[in-house]
A and B are shown apart, each in its own frame.
Chain A
Amino acid sequence: MTEELNWAIGGEAGDGIDSTGKIFAQALSRAGRHVFTSKDFASRIRGGYTAYKIRTSVDRVQSVVDRLDILIALTQRTVEENMDELHDGSIIIYDGERTMMEDFEAPEGMIGLSVPLKRLAEDAGGAIMRNIVALGAAAAVADFPIENLDESLQKRFGDKGEQIVENNKQAARLGQEYVEEHYELDDYDYHLECTDNDYVLLNGDEAIGMGAIAAGCRFYAGYPITPATDVMEYLSGRIEQYGGHVVQAEDELSAINLALGAARAGARSMTATSGPGIDLMAETFGLVSTSETPLVVANIMRSGPSTGMPTKQEQGDLNMMLYGSHGESERFIVAPTTVSECFWKTVEAFNLAEKYQLPVYLTADLSLAVTEQTFEPDTFDMDQVEIDRGNLITDEGEVEAWTDEQGRFQPHADTPDGVSPRTIPGVADGAHMTTGLEHDELGRRTEDTDMRVKQVQKRQRKVETAQQEETWDYREFGDPDADTLVISWGSNEGAMLEAMEFLDEEIRFISVPYIFPRPDLTDAVAAAEDVIVVECNATGQFADLVEHDTLTRVNRVTKYNGVRYKADELADEIQNALTESTEVTA
């Protein structure tokens, strides 16, 4: 009996693949099963190939694997695209009455279940429900109680009226009954056990949006771009309930300047975008930094350069985030490694931005952003959220302590820790100029050489203070004494954790959630015989940083075909890297 199931529905864009997959994922989550989803999708509204994949188990799952057990194939191409993942005994559910699937035959060793999806959907009230019929059929095959689908159907279709919900429930049951009547279910070795656990199901973009509201973010401006749009869609309609507002800007140039304006007025403020938007924001990013304005800029990375592969996975923007914008400007880069950390690191990013009065990149790769994962609800315990606004002065009595001999407020005062006082419009006697020009302590332009040096050093000192005062730690797994050290960042953590189960070798695994400032890996690297840095880009941008920090050559395991690492595939890559390394040494 198999406890774990790898399931997918695939077809053309516009076939309702995503919403059908989400309904099943929610049903599994409500039934107390862990879920990890992934999407194959194209940047088009109709046509092409798209799929929604679910890995589910009663145990926690945190990666995709190279395996598909049950596939609902609305098109032949869906089967072709997934031949690598299908295996002997995989079950393919399809509509043999559909013209384009008439000639379909399951590949050798696999089981094809022809179910008249469209005809049964029409019996239930409309052909549009054919995916739901397929869900019912899949539930029967997987031995998953059909009533578990009801709650998620209610959630999905509730606002369309009770009749529609009932029709969908009926459609699911017709699919289930058809399979039970026409096929011998005992032949299939699946039983999806349900538990009493309550899980919530969310993706990285949603976790970032929820984290922003929890952190007191009240202003969001953005321009729609895959795969960051979900952040804006999450906030729209929700942030207003907490006194906030979302502006859909005319472009990314406007978006970051809108967010900057709100931040100058004292709001916790944010924008989110992807690579092309980051490029456009680069000039203002420097202004945010030199004007010492707290701002969170989320970069949900996709494949570049240029338009690249907009719906595909990549971690290629690391150098852009580190060095982008002309001149030298201070910034932090925080990079959560799991969906739940997307929430907590967002809260942290807002605190860091205000404490050190600078822009903070909050970056997640596409896989992290669109992956839905199950969690215990108290993973997001709102009582644990702490807000630290740093040296923000809102009481006019405190302004005086920071004025010069003529009573003028000094927003860039040269302090020992580099952090100056900050006040916001509306606070009496705090009025001051803020400029992208080099400025004096009053915020007025200057080209005085001494003042220039003073201000540059002051801004750099803030970073040094943060490096000392804050915890820039990493997440560590495996055997701390292992000879092999694997380092990764971003969404690779989940795949690597499961890859370790496939590897015979003992592994010390360090997952790094901070790009700058970042933890010191010198000792860990020195203690290891083999160091492997895993990331999704072609050149090994994080590996460069590790080499720079530790003055030690590392092995690079990189992937840049647009698809995230799968656990079993990554295990092979690690094994290969170790074998090669041994050969070189020998």
Chain B
Amino acid sequence: MSSEVRFTDFKSDKQPTWCPGCGDFGTMNGMMKALANTGNDPDNTFIVAGIGCSGKIGTYMHSYALHGVHGRALPVGTGVKLANPELEVMVAGGDGDGYSIGAGHFVHAVRRNIDMSYIVMDNRIYGLTKGQFSPTSREDFETATSPEGPKQQPINPLALAMAAGGTFIAQSFASDAQRHTELVQQAIEHDGFGFVNVFSPCVTFNDVDTYDYFRDSIVDLEETDHDAGDYDQAKERILDREKEYQGILYQDEHSVPYEQRHGVDANMSEIPDGAPEGAMDLVREFY
């Protein structure tokens, strides 16, 4: 089936309710294309979606999918992948889901290095609850709950991933369809946890981090001499908060995913219709 799969096979018949112009349209298109380009089909793909505007993505795509509890998408994806490593698992959510309520899971998912991808639609605002600051909002960004700005440092998700031992750390821009698709595809192909922070502008509640802002400020690493395999270079760029980079910031070519390190390779859904062979040995241990 794989050779015949088109990216539209990953599209459901539900019409998105995102605001016209929302960055999540572009993010989703790139994800569907990347999944098709890597030879996956909806029946062997599992999408886990977070909560928030971006979390609706699972409904607009067609695959096996779960839209769960706010902030817990990564543990669900991890469980799916370990139970059946043959599946393609992609987790998608927003900056609130991933870096606020789910921040604890983010660092542990990164350090576990499960062979799955994590796409974060980062719009630097809470959209679904109508405009409160998010963990990536600027320090002086005025919102309904921060009349004078949040007055706290925005999280640097790339640095968080690097500190947690990330093996694939990338950033893309939803509006740059080709590059975004390429980067998601590379995240899928990476042997380990492929993390892409996507600038996915909110056209309704964020008038600072806009399409124009990103278009003007993005530096594509393809157009620099950046070496993603060079940890020190990656560190320097990731910690540089003056610039908005697009591309693979860091990739560990020697990455070995968790499943391989633990020898997890079975499809756990397949079990005998009685106790497993040799189970009486378990009883004898208690002599």
Contact = CB atoms under 8 A, between A and B. Distances in A.
A444 B62 contact: no
B8 to A, nearest CB: 14
Contacts of A210: 282-283
A259 B59 contact: no
A425 B68 contact: no
A200 B287 contact: yes
A444 B72 contact: no
Nearest to B86: A426
Nearest to A240: B263
Interface stretch (B146-154, B173-181, B192-200, B265-273): B265-273
B77 interface: yes
A385 B72 contact: no
Interface in B257-287: 262-264, 266-269, 271-276, 279-280, 282-284, 286-287
B90 interface: no
B82 interface: yes
Interface stretch (A107-115, A215-223, A532-540, A575-583): A215-223
B271 to A, nearest CB: 4
B269 A432 contact: no
A75 interface: no
B66 A430 contact: no
Contact of B84 (A214, A266, A377, A380): A266
A429 B275 CA distance: 31
B14 interface: yes
Nearest to A251: B104
Given A266-B269, A425-B80, A253 B72 contact: yes
B282 A219 contact: no
Contacts of A521: none
Interface in B57-83: 58-59, 62-69, 71-72, 75-83
Interface in A198-242: 198-202, 206, 210, 213-216, 218-219, 221, 238, 240, 242
Contacts of A424: 64, 84, 269
B268 A428 contact: no
A219 B82 contact: yes
B286 A262 contact: no
B6 interface: no
B260 to A, nearest CB: 13
B5 to A, nearest CB: 12
B266 to A, nearest CB: 4
A464 interface: no
B264 to A, nearest CB: 5
A264 B80 contact: yes
A469 interface: no
Contacts of B14: 444
A434 interface: yes
Contacts of B75: 221, 249, 253-255, 257-258, 261
From A206, A386, A425, name the one whose CB has the most chain B CB atoms within 10 angstroms.
A425
B46 interface: yes
A528 interface: no
B66 A264 contact: yes
Given A219-B83, A250-B105, A267-B268, A377 B283 contact: yes
A437 B275 contact: no
Nearest to A285: B69
Given A265-B83, A385-B275, A425-B84, A431 B43 contact: yes
A261 B84 CA distance: 10
Contacts of A249: 75, 108
B43 A426 contact: yes
A425 B87 CA distance: 8
Q: Per DSSP, are chain A's interface residues mostly helix, strand or loop, or mixed? A: mixed
Q: Of B58, B68, B78, which is in contact with the most chain A CB atoms at under 10 Å from its CB?
A: B68
B48 interface: yes
A76 interface: no
A426 B80 CA distance: 12
Contacts of B273: 386-387
B3 to A, nearest CB: 15
Contact of B279 (A214, A260, A263): A214
A210 B283 CA distance: 8
A454 interface: no
B83 A262 contact: yes
B62 A431 contact: yes
Contacts of A253: 71-72, 75, 104-105
A257 B264 CA distance: 19
Given A262-B80, A380-B283, A436-B68, A219 B268 contact: yes
Contacts of B262: 245
A216 B273 CA distance: 8
A218 B84 CA distance: 11
Interface string A537-569: 000000000000000000000000000000000
Most A CB within 10 A of own CB, among B69, B262, B268, B273: B268
A262 B275 contact: no
A199 B286 CA distance: 8
B283 A244 contact: no
Interface string A412-454: 0000000000001111111111111100000011000000000
B282 A258 contact: no
Nearest to B64: A425
Nearest to A245: B264
Given A213-B276, A214-B282, A262-B83, A426 B267 contact: yes
Contacts of A200: 283-284, 286-287
Contacts of A251: 104
B269 A265 contact: yes
Given A200-B287, A202-B286, A254-B108, A425 B79 contact: no
Contacts of A386: 273-274
A268 interface: yes
B76 A257 contact: yes
A218 B272 CA distance: 12
Contact of A445 (B59, B68, B82, B274): B59
Contacts of B279: 213-214, 242, 382, 385
Interface string A470-495: 00000000000000000000000000
B96 to A, nearest CB: 16
B44 interface: yes
Contact of A243 (B105, B268, B287): B268
A283 interface: yes
A394 interface: yes
B201 interface: no
Contacts of A268: 268, 271
Given A262-B82, A287-B68, A250 B108 contact: yes
A240 B82 CA distance: 12
A444 to B, nearest CB: 6
Closest 7 CB pairs of A and B: A261-B79, A266-B269, A216-B271, A257-B75, A200-B286, A267-B268, A265-B83
Given A261-B80, A382-B279, 18 more contacts: A242-B276, A243-B268, A251-B104, A253-B104, A257-B72, A257-B79, A260-B76, A261-B79, A264-B76, A264-B80, A284-B69, A426-B84, A431-B42, A435-B67, A435-B68, A436-B68, A436-B69, A445-B67
18 contacts: A214-B279, A216-B275, A218-B271, A219-B268, A243-B266, A254-B104, A257-B79, A261-B81, A265-B80, A267-B83, A267-B268, A287-B69, A291-B66, A380-B283, A425-B44, A426-B269, A433-B65, A445-B59
